[in-house]
């Protein structure tokens, strides 16, 4: 019963925060519609998580961002809109279909000059992107088994003070008692991040949990 009450209150607060602080415009709504139309999985971040990412861009003054996991480009549009006009978001996507849908969405959003989709496996793309370091922020939202590899790449390629944000830190609550491999990977990732001497780390309990870390 207590859980049900907490869940209801949490859902009500999510709606309150969304209505008060989150301006999801027609472009963002159309990205979700386009994703559904193209039968992409409904696994993007939520609007208020997008607004949180934007706040992290503003707070950190990020100008060069790497995103791992594009899908239809929903989170990328939130991130890119917070960048200065000269800023750049590199977003990494292994699915050619997802990348194509996302490119169309970035054009519709008028962000094609600020966002570059890099198609292929993230590990390969990251190895190439190292040539363009240092970066200011890395958003990890794909491929849970390799979160630790992505964190290691971030440690090597972020400027001091640069930021890592890793989505799904809570795994819908299952991080407490993992039920599958991905839950276990995220549980291990959070524990390792908390002890990682290269970063100052914490988890922001918004949405499905955003693990955040600042490069020392
Ligand atoms: C959770 S979705 C990303 C959602 C997106 N960040 C958003 O909130 O709008 C994960 C995406 O990462 C892609 N992906 C999964 N494994 C990958 C890998 N190893 N390299 C690159 N992309 C990958 C999937 O195809 C999927 O489109």
pLDDT in tens, 73-82: 999 999 999 9
Asked whether residue 109 carries a pLDDT value surpassing 90, the answer given is yes
Task: Copy the structure tokens of residue 51.
Answer: 């607004």
C-beta of 95 in contact with ligand 1 (< 6 A): yes
Residue pLDDT, tens place only, 19-75:
999 999 999 999 999 999 999 999 999 999 999 999 999 999 999 999 999 999 999
Ligand 1: atom nearest CA of 121 is 20
- Per the DSSP assignment, residues forming a β-bridge with 15 are none
Q: Provide the mean pLDDT of the chain.
A: 97
pLDDT of 195 higher than 90:
yes
Nearest protein CA to atom 13 of ligand 1, as residue: 69
**Does residue 49's CB lie within 6 angstroms of at least one atom of ligand 1?**
no
What is the count of structural domains for the chain?
1
Per residue in 137-150, pLDDT tens?
999 999 999 999 99
Atom of ligand 1 nearest to the CA of 139: 6
Return the pLDDT at 11.
94
Helical spans, DSSP H, in 24-73: 26-37, 47-60
Q: Is the CB of 102 under 6 A from ligand 1?
A: no
pLDDT at 1: 45
Angle, helices 74-82 vs 26-37, to 10°: value is: 160
Q: Given this model, what pLDDT does residue 3 score?
A: 66
For residue 4, the CA-to-ligand 1 centroid distance in Å is 31
The answer, yes or no, to whether residue 2 has pLDDT greater than 60, is no
Preceding amide of 134 cis, omega within 30? yes
| Contact between residue 212 and residue 201 where contact means Cβ atoms under 8 Å apart | yes
| Domain around 82 | 2-215
What pLDDT does residue 7 have? 85
Q: Is the CB of 98 under 6 A from ligand 1?
A: yes
Pocket test for ligand 1, best of 93, 117, 139, 165 (most atoms within 8 A of CB): 93
CATH number at residue 78: 3.40.50.150
Is this structure's pTM higher than 0.95? yes
The token duo for 124 is: 């390969």
Tell me, using a 6 A CB cutoff, whether residue 179 lines ligand 1: no
Q: How sure is the predictor about 179, in pLDDT bands with cuts at 50, 70 and 90?
A: very high
Rounded to whole angstroms, the Cα distance separating 117 from 100 reads 9
| Rounded Cα gap, residues 5 and 13, in angstroms | 12
Closest-CA residue, ligand 1 atom 26, reads 71
Q: Is 143 in the pocket of ligand 1 (CB under 6 A)?
A: yes
């Amino acid at each position: 019963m207590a859980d049900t009450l907490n869940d209801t209150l949490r859902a009500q607060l999510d709606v309150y925060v969304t209505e008060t602080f989150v301006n999801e415009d027609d472009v963002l709504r159309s990205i979700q519609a386009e994703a559904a139309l193209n039968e992409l999985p409904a696994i993007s971040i939520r609007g208020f998580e997008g607004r949180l990412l934007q706040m992290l861009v503003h707070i950190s003054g990020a100008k060069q961002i790497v995103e791992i996991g594009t899908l239809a480009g929903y989170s990328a549009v939130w991130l890119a809109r917070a960048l200065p006009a000269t800023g750049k978001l590199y977003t990494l996507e292994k699915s050619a279909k997802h990348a194509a849908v996302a490119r169309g969405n970035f054009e519709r959003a008028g962000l094609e000059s600020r966002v570059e989709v890099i198609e292929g496996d993230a590990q390969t793309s990251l190895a190439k992107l190292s040539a363009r370091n240092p970066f200011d922020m890395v958003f990890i939202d794909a491929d849970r088994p390799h979160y630790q590899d992505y964190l290691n790449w971030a440690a090597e390629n972020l400027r001091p003070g640069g930021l890592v944000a890793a989505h799904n830190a809570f795994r819908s609550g299952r991080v407490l008692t993992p039920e599958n491999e991905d839950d276990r990977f995220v549980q291990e990732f959070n524990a390792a991040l908390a002890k990682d001497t290269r970063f100052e780390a914490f988890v922001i309990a918004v949405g499905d949990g955003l693990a955040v870390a600042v490069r020392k």
